[in-house]
Structure 1
Amino acid sequence: MQHFYVLRIKNWKRWGLLVTAALFSAVFLWVEVESSFSVFSTEENPAALSKGSEKDPNIALTFNVSWGNEKIEPTLEQLKKHQIKATFFVSGEWAERHPDLVKKIKDDNHEIGMMGYRYKNYVEQELEQVRKDLIYAKEIFNKLGYPDTKLLRTPSGHFNPEILELAESQGYKVIHWNVNPQDWKNPGEQQIIDHVMSNTKNGDIILLHASDSVKQTPEALEIILPGLKNKGFEYVTISELISRAESDEKVVE
């Protein structure tokens, strides 16, 4: 009995180590996906941009679009009313179906990024399938007249080091975010407003949506857009955010 008891203790220790390792891995993956990433990539460590320089009051307002055609114009109207430029990340499939709306976004001097062709989680696909999706998306954006689309937001915001490396090898900068009111859940206009207003800081990238699934965002923008301006923030596109952050980095060096 004593020998059996010792074996059980050893087994418990072994299982304890396995559980601890699993928890560590889970926490590590959560941090990789949800926390702020490096502003710049290196040859050894490709990274996603989730924040610009904290030294300047620049912020980037971004919108994901992958479905529907009813919320784009109300969103653009709010941006035009408050004289704000944003960056729109659109899927190639959506752009192919709504070239007139993509043109309207561009004509209003907003920046266009992409989310691949089909809005499907990259992490759940084979890397070769992700490669094909990016290649096809590039063909679509070229055909529509946007050959310089180099900003990529992965579908659902999920990625791993292999996807980052693949994206950068094809010339894309992967763009994440660090302010997310989850407006796609339609939690209420005031909750969207409160989250953005209380969490936005210098250099932040704000994630909102302009797909038909969001019902409250255009109205929330009526308060958010002037509200952040009144707090001293300056709206810039993602490319401008990168450019200014790079300038700050060179000054530091």
Structure 2
Amino acid sequence: MKKKIIIAVIVLAAFLIVNSPIVHNYVSALKGSALPAVKETDSLYQSIVKNAPEYEKPPSDAKIDPVWKAIPGYNGLVVDLAASYQNMKKKGTFDEKKLVFKQVKPKVQLKDLPPSPIYKGHPDKPMVSFIINVAWGNEYLSDMLATLKNHNVSASFFLEGNWAKKNPELAKMIISAGHEVGNHSYSHPDMAKLTAAQTREQMVKTNEIIEAVTDKKTEWFAPPSGSYRDETVKIADELNMKTVMWTVDTVDWRKPSPDALINRVMGKVSNGSLILMHPTESTAKSLDRLITLIEQKNLQIGTVSELMSEERVIK
């Protein structure tokens, strides 16, 4: 019994010594002083430090633009000195391809801005997004979903509430294919002419239907025909939704030829573009070639949430 007590006392004493603040601080001091000392005399480390500023990018704050309204921020880049050093240590020479970066968030993000519509993403972000408003055109949805799948592209489908209520299986199909869904009002009214109560009803009713059908909460609201007033945007914001417009309109409801639709889009598309389309025959026939041409311009295609995030695209 005495032996067990002695052993227990020894173990406890050892534990207290190892976890003593004095011992902990001493070990930390040794670690902290040894590594920098080595790096101060290491030519590779100093080369990384010297070259790092050439590759770093400052973060860009979200802002309200006088023309484009709300513009999301964009992360900056700083070189991770320690990780880059480890990456290059084996050869011992500086190699820009082995630099490791950390992203730095902007001080002002999209969520910090006052309620304002969004017409495009950040102009430095090489990404675009398809905004597909759905209130009709069921016969073309399957082809469009198949094309998006073939290209491994995710889009944002803005669903009219009444449509989602009548077509729950199609709404579920959109979600199961990995796409994002947003709010496109309940009955496609002119939102600028509605009272505040009517506006809220249109949005809330649609959100409830979409969540009931897809089990997804909506973060984005696309007003029918792009019609809104400041109060519309404010009410959407109160319901935790940002109002999304577009940068490039396919005008596919006018039934343009595939060539005409593609030329229209490719003549205007650039970093951050929000491309408006609907499930129409023109878009269904154009989508495959349109995706290919957009990607050939070194532009990624993502959802509205991906485009609006501050996450930097690193090629």
TM-score of the superposed pair, with normalisation by structure 2:
0.63
1:204 equivalent in structure 2: 273
Q: Could you tell me which of 201, 206, 231 is aligned with 2:297?
A: 231
Mean alpha-carbon deviation: is it higher for 36-45 or for 61-70? Answer: 36-45
Q: Mind listing any 5+ residue stretches in structure 1 that lack a counterpart?
A: 1-34, 249-253
1:217 equivalent in structure 2: 283
Q: In the alignment, is the contact (CA less than 8 A) between 2:129 and 2:302 conserved in 1?
A: yes
Displacement of 1:187 in angstroms is: 2.1
Displacement of 1:43 in angstroms is: 7.1
1:148 equivalent in structure 2: 217
- SS of corresponding position for 2:132: strand
- SS of corresponding position for 2:130: strand
Q: 1:68 to 1:222 in 2, by over 3 A?
A: closer
Displacement of 1:243 in angstroms is: 1.0
Displacement of 1:198 in angstroms is: 1.4
Displacement of 1:44 in angstroms is: 7.6
Q: Mind listing any 5+ residue stretches in structure 2 that lack a counterpart?
A: 1-66, 73-109
Distance 2:267 2:156 in 1: 21
RMSD of Structure 2 on Structure 1 (CA): 1.7
Distance 2:288 2:216 in 1: 33
Distance 1:89 1:205 in 2: 13
1:36 equivalent in structure 2: 68
Q: Could you tell me which of 173, 184, 194 is aligned with 1:125?
A: 194
| Matched residues, number | 209
- SS of corresponding position for 1:56: coil
- SS of corresponding position for 1:159: coil
Displacement of 1:180 in angstroms is: 0.6
Distance 2:292 2:112 in 1: 40
Q: In the alignment, is the contact (CA less than 8 A) between 1:39 and 1:48 conserved in 2?
A: no
Q: 1:106 to 1:127 in 2, by over 3 A?
A: same
1:36 maps to a residue whose letter is W
Distance 1:87 1:201 in 2: 18
Q: In the alignment, is the contact (CA less than 8 A) between 1:115 and 1:155 conserved in 2?
A: yes
- Given the alignment of the two structures, is residue 242 of structure 1 paired with residue 308 of structure 2, yes or no? yes
- SS of corresponding position for 1:71: helix
Q: 1:50 to 1:44 in 2, by over 3 A?
A: closer
Distance 1:76 1:142 in 2: 21
Displacement of 1:36 in angstroms is: 2.4
Distance 1:147 1:209 in 2: 21
Mean alpha-carbon deviation: is it higher for 136-145 or for 112-121? Answer: 136-145
Distance 2:131 2:214 in 1: 21
Percent of residue pairs bearing the same amino acid type: 29
